[in-house]
Structure 1
Amino acid sequence: MEEKMVQCQNVVFKYESNNKDDIKLAINDVTLEVKKGEFLVILGRNGSGKSTIAKHMNALLVPSEGKVYVGKLDTSIEKNIWDIRNKAGMVFQNPDNQIVATIVEEDVAFGPENLGIEPSEIRSRVDDCLKKVNMYEYRKHAPHLLSGGQKQRVAIAGVLAMMPECIIFDESTAMLDPSGRREVIKTIKEINNKYGITIVLITHYMEEAVEANRIVVMDEGKVMMEGTPKDIFSKVKEMKTMGLDVPQMTELSYELKNSGLNIREDILTIDEMVDELCRLK
């Protein structure tokens, strides 16, 4: 049986707005699991609840109703929180909010130091994690002089140095330019493939979701669809109804199909499109 990294069972999260009687449901009865070692993407437009569910996965938020387990730890039990955050690290949208030191390697050492790890072990973890995100040559640099993509990779190294089993990326590429986004996604894929770390990526960029093992689509606090990227993106109409796009190549194949061309509808990448068009010649 596959081991579960995170389980959300009938999770409801309510928050009160300024008007006390007006209680909003940010998460509305969500049941969802993340398998150990998988790369899961959670998609949704703004206000869909995707970031709120992410914050439940490392106990930044606790459900109003229902349960969340990380490993086998219940997030609503206060004494579990430290262990949960060691298991599930989080990388946020703005790397500047996550970088605490004035030198890159000191920043990466910050987490393990707080865990009380031996100095020699910290040294090897820092070097190792900076190599994993291709930032080792910048170890003596000041973080504020780095590009957005580089800062985000330092933030990832800082989480990796704590050796979590799972990393949750909460719209971690939203503030980056396209090349910074590509750098970070490539890093995320490598961490997942090479080191078997479970990845949960919250995003509204469709091209990023193509890389996932599985996609969950949220809207209005509920899970609307889940499946492989090919399953999800071939449902172009349903995605558009929820205010979401599909990857450009999927959109193109959808339009070509509608104009009468006998073409597969589950094309995700340029390479797949080229192969399909060559087949049709």
Structure 2
Amino acid sequence: MIKTEGLYFRYHDEKDEEKYALKDINLHVTDGEFVVIIGHNGSGKSTLSKLLNGIYLPTNGKIYINEMDTSDEALIWEIRKTAGMVFQNPDNQLVATIVEEDVAFGPENIGLPSSEIRKRVDEALEIVSMTPYKRKPPHHLSGGQKQRVAIAGILAMKPKCIIFDEPTAMLDPAGRKEVMKTIEYLNKKEKMTVVHITHYMDEAVNADRIIVMDEGQIVLEGTPRAVFSKVEHLKRIGLDVPQITQLAYELNQIGYNISTESLTVQELVEALCQLV
């Protein structure tokens, strides 16, 4: 679904010509995969998201979305229909005064007939559990609800892949939970390819694969258990680990012989019970 080859990117206003926001990124995301990208501020993860959607073009290297080259201007509209994008602030994506009109905006712009638009809007709102709010003004909704409407607007375009660029960063815990439930539903039930960029480690626990970025490069990747077990490595580059993994690590440090690969409360409880 997504492939990058020797990807480099440098901002045009960067005075230092040797300063790259991304350096030699080689990435492969398969159809239906749930990939989470983590990294501290300035690591390059949000820059990468904008390259995957064709908002930016590579300085060097190639990006292919479903085998389409993002540097081919003739394909850019098809690329953006294939790989939709949800940004950090939902207010920047909501354009209409009524929820269902906002979700209809994309399909209307590609000239679909009214009957098909109606069908897509209803389906998208149902998927994100926002049907009861379809005639509400977006500004009456909570942050989590607004973000789910923004997701519905992307779903109505029927993409094969959705890129989420820190979609929960501006939400309270309840809103974060709503949005993460929706993201995981899209991947597991709707079989959509998901690339989720976040700085919340607990949002990566259920991913198929985690990619860790630092200073514009991929420095670590693997399953959540494999990545989060590298507690010291992650801390050296300014990242935390899920609370359960951190607790397991600290218990291990003071002499309790338990695995540092625990990701859930139940797993840690079982590991501790084996010591009794």
TM-score, normalising length from structure 1? Answer: 0.96
2:207 corresponds, among 212, 234, 242, to 212
Aligned to 2:121: 126
Contact 1:17 1:23 in 2 (8 A): no
Determine which of 164, 169, 173 is the counterpart of 1:169. Answer: 164
Residue 258 (structure 1) aligns with: 253
**Quick check: 1:136 aligned with 2:165?**
no
1:166-194 alpha-carbon deviations (Å, 9 max, x no partner): 00000111000111001100100000011
What is the identity, as a one-letter code, of the residue corresponding to 1:91? V
The worse-fitting range, judged by mean Cα deviation, of 221-230 and 267-276 is 267-276
Describe the superposition over 1:223-277 as per-residue Cα deviations: whole angstroms up to 9, x where unpaired: 0000000000000000000100000000000010111111111001122212222
- By how many angstroms is 1:21 displaced? 4.7
- 1:68 corresponds to: 63
Task: Measure the CA separation in 2 of the matches of 1:74 and 1:148.
Answer: 35
Letter in 1 for 2:133: Y
**Residue 99 (structure 1) aligned with residue 130 (structure 2):** no
- Find the aligned partners of 1:175 and 1:279 in 2 and give their Cα distance: 40
Where does structure 1 differ by over 6 angstroms across 4 or more consecutive aligned residues?
none
1:246 corresponds to: 241
TM-score when scaled to structure 2? 0.98
SS of the aligned residue for 1:25 comes to coil
When the two chains are superposed, the root-mean-square deviation of aligned CA atoms in Å is: 1.0
Partner Cα separation in structure 1 for residue 4 and residue 59 of structure 2: 12
Consecutive unaligned residues of structure 1, counting only runs of 5 or more, are: none
Amino acid in the other structure paired with 1:6: I
Whole-Å Cα distance in 1 between the matches of residues 100 and 18 of structure 2? 44
Corresponding residue number in structure 2 for 1:56: 51
Percent sequence identity over aligned pairs: 59
Confirm or deny that 1:183 pairs with 2:183. no
Structure-2 separation of matches of 1:205 and 1:86: 28
- Report the residue type matching 2:195 in the other structure: V
- 1:80 aligned to which of 75, 78, 101: 75
Name the residue aligned to 1:31. 26
Distance 1:96 1:148 in 2: 9
Give the drift of 1:23.
5.1
Q: Which amino acid aligns with 1:141?
A: K
In the other structure, the counterpart of 1:234 is 229
In structure 2, stretches of 5+ residues that fail to align are none
